[in-house]
Structure 1
Amino acid sequence: MPSPIPVTRLLPRGFGLDLGTLSSPLSRRAGASSSLRVPTATHGKLAQRLWSSAVQWRELHELEPIGCGGFGMVFKGTYFGETVAVKRVRRARNTLASRQSFWAELNAAHLRHDNLVRVIAGRVGTIVMEFAGDVSLQQVIYGAGPLPPELCVRYASDVVCALRHLHAHGVAHLDLKPANVLVSRAGVCKLADFGCSLQLGRDHAACALEIGGTYTHRAPELLRGERVTARADVYSFGVTLWQLLTRDVPYRGERQCVIYAVVAYGLRPQLDRDVFHRSSAGRACAELVSCCWSAEPNLRPSAEQLHSDLQQISLLVF
């Protein structure tokens, strides 16, 4: 039964939700078990045409805020009876940058994978996604106690599976970090937040400096404004894996000092931790992490290679 309370009553002033026809790649099929479907390709002008079908926004109910940040706010609700997350991108002073961030969110909208948060619908400034969980990998890492090493490897494998699928379809995430990985109630990691992502295959050297992302996890070539490749995600994965195993923050100090040291002096998080030396699996992880954050992108493993390496590590005993 539809909620008697209008959706707009549950949103803060200025949320901008339009209950009329909105652009979306999704349609609901009568009688279908899974109502949230998406076309197989969305980019450029084709994306705008595919996102022109009507969305039944009156089916969006019970919205409640669950998080906020520099990007805007995230709400939890239901859409056609399915639990969803609604992301409202904060309107920036630079309208063009705000729109670019929104369209970047759609770079993976046509992809379906168990380790990617599924995009359901959207309009400029608003994204409707599957609700993948309200706990991030960041919260899990720095939670009550240390994680079992085998669980760390399993979480890392989930992230790599997401990267492998993205890269195979020509998408670079470019903001991989524990805070952008959601952990479902079933313990499955799902990569989220594509606001910094890019479609690969074109020369992005001109826009590399404009890419956002978190400096502690950002590859040195991106900090220098050089060409974007999928190996930038591998660098970020190396820092993320280091956090999983050490439960520490990568760097301490002023932002500009850290960035300068990473670019000019090859500063990296410390590998002289007990977890990296007390077992063969730990030593294998240290070697893998070191390869991932190589200063030279071509020396980093691919996501495909990472997947194979983690499978081998999972067979070892910490």
Structure 2
Amino acid sequence: MKLKIHDLIYDTNVIHPRDEPLHMTDPLVSAIITTKNRSGMLPRALVSVRNQSYPNIEIVIVDDGSTDLTPKVIEDFEYENRLIHLRNEESLGACRARNQGIAASSGTFIAGLDDDDEWHPDRIKFLVDAYSDEFACITSDVRLAYPKRTVQWSKEKVITFNDLLYSNQVGNQVLVKKERLEKIGGFDENLEAAQDYDLWLRLAETFGPIKNVNKPLQTIHLDHEAEQITNPKSQLAGYLEFYKKHKAKMNLTQRKYQLFQIRRAQGKVTSFWEIFRWVPHSFWLNEAKRYLAKGFLKND
């Protein structure tokens, strides 16, 4: 049986974790996965959650208007797992879908996962063990999987609000208390892009710095061109909206670097001189490497 709640379809055949007795001292972690037309990759993400060594996890999937075999993938998976399934008959966008998943979750903690990525088996265990309320949330190093190679992104142990005003040094996922997401209003549904970056900034501004576990606990797959929930054509415009939203909080150096990153996304960075002119000293090496590898990266 399926009940329509506003613009959602909620599958009542799924065992909801609120109705399932828990005999664990470990806090419940809600794994939020939003998906659209990625039935070929979604099973990898789901299996990576199911295979976590941490014992107390629920999965919340928001299908944002898929027209492929995604509903069948979820149906096949939900019989053997603690899973909540929400479906939008028409796509409402990444932010709305994520907020729907958060609202439907029961966990003390929220941990996001993109449908084309995967968690390493001990990810949630390490993040929960390392969590402290003195930090806004917690993240980890990641592996970036390109078609021809895999590289590790090693982040700073502590990422401050000031650090984030230069660039998104957190990435795309964290573990955070649900009550904190609720306090700051969740994802900003008015932004078309950089929604995760915006959320990290607001979390750090409200609750303090973000802690990083220096272990690669997630793989981000950049080796495909599958459909995205966020329309690629709107990403640049969305980032400009993000920049305007937070511009007043930035100093001149931070603004210049943000504008440099926008120009780079537009393909307008054509010389080393622009790196020296626009980029803070601490980012010179990374930007120079990116510039030199530009042709190689395009072939990936």
TM-score by length of 1: 0.34
- Structure with greater proportional strand content: 2
TM-score (norm 2): 0.35
Bigger relative contact order, structure 1 or 2 (CA pairs below 8 A, ≥6 apart):
2
